[in-house]
């Protein structure tokens, strides 16, 4: 029996290794279009490879998988983040958990994962062919099983050769361009607990927000770009953005300000900030909401000024003027429609023996190790499905 795996990335190698361990008699070949394998693994996580997440703060998979969460919820019963953690450590790659629940190799080097995959492929006699382009499934008629693990494709043309229903690919995980020179002057400012929203929608994200010389970045913005990927694409990446700098409700912000004023009415506005905001941002908020009164005593604020200050703190408005590249941006939403595959086996509904795993499917996660976990889970599910198929084909 022979299996061809198209794509020498994370999902492809993980599938090949697990399939060969499950079916030692299987001839497994990885076919990679490029001259090098595992290139995206090498650069992911700033070269450290955020290989999974603890999921400790995930109460709803949809919050970390905007597309594909229902499928993954089922597949996690076969292989989840705990299984991935054990899988790597059992093979000698010790892992470490960060305070934000991201999981990295203890070495802090993506080559620990790459070297493991390559050494396991050699040990199991998995053939790896590079510089080999596959643009028709008919090229692989000699194989009993074909697995497509080509990763996310930026353009639909990269998927049409598979002759399966496709969800239009669009970028996910990117930062926002904002044409506001006063904001750009705050470059490097980080707010640890902000909430960003696409104004007029339910699309929102909470977490650290970084102000850059081109606009906004940080986990808060990257997650929002993932949730709203299709909407942003449809509007040419030009939509109104609302930011709550405090992470608090309007009522709570108002009450805190009232209490602060009662105790500090003689103090100057720029000198004392009742919230955990960087000083430069606090001055920006004051200028934006109070203009010439930004240096007045706290106790001199009238009702209208108070309302404007509260509104800027919890509902500060900007205009997204385009998307900017994120350093690890190679995630897309879209791909082979999940309706085209069996939800357990990930086998094509129209072509038996053809399987899909990884980001080539319409599955994508937010930043934090979730996309790699989807690759491990879907690849393992395909390996299990092929093993089951082989076992059922054996004579009694």
DSSP states along 38-50? SHHHHHHHHHT--
The pLDDT value recorded for residue 291 is: 87
pLDDT in the model for residue 396 = 56
Cα dihedral across residues 245, 251, 252, 253: positive or negative: positive
Cα–Cα distance between 77 and 89 in angstroms, integer? 20
How much is the pLDDT for 33?
96
- Dihedral in degrees, nearest 10, Cα atoms 299, 303, 305, 311: 120
Cβ-based neighbour number of residue 144 at 10 Å:
16
Q: Are strands 175-178 and 316-324 parallel, antiparallel or unpaired?
A: antiparallel
Residue 101 to residues 5, 30, 190, Cα–Cα distance (Å) = 32, 32, 20
Instruction: Please give the pLDDT value at position 292.
Output: 87
Rounded CA gap, 90 and 349, in Å?
35
Look at residue 332 in the predicted model and tell me its pLDDT. Answer: 87
Tell me whether strands 354-356 and 127-130 are parallel, antiparallel or unpaired. unpaired
pLDDT number for residue 371: 96
pLDDT of the residue at 330: 61
pLDDT string in tens for the chain (396-residue length): 999 999 999 999 999 999 999 999 999 999 999 999 999 999 998 899 999 999 999 999 999 999 999 999 999 999 999 999 999 999 999 999 999 999 999 999 999 999 999 999 999 999 999 999 999 999 999 999 999 999 998 889 999 999 999 999 999 999 999 999 999 999 999 999 999 999 999 999 999 999 999 999 999 999 999 999 999 999 999 999 999 999 999 999 999 999 999 999 999 999 999 999 999 999 999 999 998 898 999 999 999 999 999 999 999 999 999 998 765 556 889 999 999 999 999 999 999 999 999 999 999 999 999 999 999 999 999 999 999 999 887 665
Name 62's Cβ contacts closer than 8 Å, sequence gap at least 6. 69
Residue 392's pLDDT is: 85
Q: 99 — phi, psi (to 5°)?
A: -65, -25
Residue 26, φ and ψ in degrees, nearest 5: -70, 135
pTM over 0.75: yes
Render the burial of 92-115: b for 16+ CB within 10 Å, e for the rest.
ebebeeeeebbbbbebeebebbbe
User: Which of 174, 312, 318 shows the shortest CA–CA distance to 241?
Assistant: 318
For tokens 């930011």, the residue is 243
The reported pLDDT for the residue numbered 395 is: 61
294 DSSP assignment: T
Q: Does residue 228 contact residue 176 with C-beta atoms inside 8 Å?
A: no
List the structure tokens of 326.
């994120």
β-pair type (102-105, 95-97)? antiparallel
Distances (CA, A) of 263 to 59, 132, 307, 383, 384: 40, 72, 19, 66, 66
Cβ-contact 1, 27 below 8 angstroms: yes
3-class state of residue 34 by DSSP? coil
Q: Give the burial class of 59: count Cβ atoms within 10 A of its Cβ; 0-12 exposed, 13-18 middle, 19 or more buried.
A: exposed
Residues 6+ apart with CB under 8 A from 194: 206, 207, 208, 209, 220, 243, 244, 245, 246, 247
């Amino acid at each position: 029996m022979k299996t061809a795996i198209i794509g020498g990335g994370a999902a492809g190698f993980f599938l090949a290794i697990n399939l060969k361990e499950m079916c030692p008699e299987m001839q497994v070949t990885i076919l990679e279009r490029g001259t090098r394998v595992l290139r995206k693994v090498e650069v992911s996580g700033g070269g450290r490879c955020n290989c999974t997440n603890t999921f400790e703060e995930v109460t709803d998979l949809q919050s970390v998988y905007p597309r594909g969460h229902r499928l993954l919820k089922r597949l996690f019963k076969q292989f989840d983040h705990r299984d991935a953690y054990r899988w790597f450590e059992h093979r000698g790659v010790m892992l470490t958990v960060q305070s934000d629940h991201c999981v990295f190799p203890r070495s802090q080097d993506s080559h620990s994962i790459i070297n493991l995959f390559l050494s396991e492929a050699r040990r199991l006699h998995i053939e790896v062919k590079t510089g080999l382009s596959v643009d028709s499934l008919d090229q692989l008629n000699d194989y009993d099983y074909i697995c497509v693990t080509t990763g996310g494709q930026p353009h639909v043309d990269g998927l049409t050769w598979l002759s399966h229903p496709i969800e239009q690919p669009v970028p996910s995980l990117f930062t926002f361009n904002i044409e506001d020179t006063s904001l750009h002057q705050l470059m490097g400012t980080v707010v640890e607990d902000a909430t960003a929203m696409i104004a007029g929608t339910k699309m929102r994200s909470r977490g650290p927000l970084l102000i850059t010389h081109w606009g906004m970045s940080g986990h808060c913005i990257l997650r929002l770009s993932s949730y709203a990927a299709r909407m942003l694409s449809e509007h040419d990446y030009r939509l109104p953005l609302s930011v709550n700098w405090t992470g608090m409700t309007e009522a709570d912000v108002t009450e805190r300000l009232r209490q602060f004023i009662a105790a500090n009415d003689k103090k100057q506005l720029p000198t004392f900030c009742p919230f955990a905001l960087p000083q430069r941002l606090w001055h920006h908020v004051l200028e934006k909401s109070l203009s010439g009164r930004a240096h007045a005593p706290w106790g001199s604020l009238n009702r209208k000024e108070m309302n404007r200050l509260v509104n800027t703190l919890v509902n500060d408005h900007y205009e997204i003027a385009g998307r900017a590249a994120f350093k690890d941006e190679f995630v897309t939403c879209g791909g082979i429609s999940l309706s085209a595959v069996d939800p357990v086996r990930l086998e094509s509904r129209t072509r038996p023996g053809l399987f899909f795993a990884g980001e080539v499917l319409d599955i994508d996660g937010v930043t934090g190790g979730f996309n790699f976990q989807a690759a491990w889970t879907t690849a393992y599910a395909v390996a299990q499905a092929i093993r089951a198929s082989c076992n059922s084909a054996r004579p009694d």
